[in-house]
A = this chain, B = another copy of it.
Amino acid sequence: MDHPSVIRPEAYAEWRTEKMGKSTLFESPRLLVGLNAFEPGQSHALHAHAGTDKLYHVLYGEGVFLLEGRELAMRAGDVLVAPDGVPHGVKNTGAGRLLVMAVLAPAP
């Protein structure tokens, strides 16, 4: 999309039947702003980024954040930061779609 412009992020979600859908809203060497779209039951396995901090912001739906062996309940409006090297993931445990904004700095 053109930037800078005001957008509704949910309009850019990509839903896939076979696995979590990913889309990118903005990317520079410093910052990656993307969407992770989870159909019910879909997940993003525990992983870590060396040298990158990641901010999650739940736009709608509900599920759990996977974090260092723990599962943390989350719902729309919740925020989690996974700093450099901290293993993290997401699972949609709800009955509906789960849409999460993921912000990575710097871009991996």
Contacts and interface: CB of A to CB of B under 8 A. Distances in A.
A31 B83 CA distance: 9
Contacts of A68: 4
A17 interface: no
Contacts of A57: 57, 101
Copies of chain A in the complex: 2
A97 B8 CA distance: 20
Interface residues of A, number: 40
Contacts of A26: 53, 55, 81, 83
Given A5-B72, A7-B78, A7-B80, 17 more contacts: A3-B83, A4-B83, A6-B72, A8-B78, A9-B79, A10-B77, A25-B79, A26-B55, A30-B84, A30-B105, A31-B81, A31-B105, A57-B101, A59-B77, A79-B101, A103-B103, A105-B105
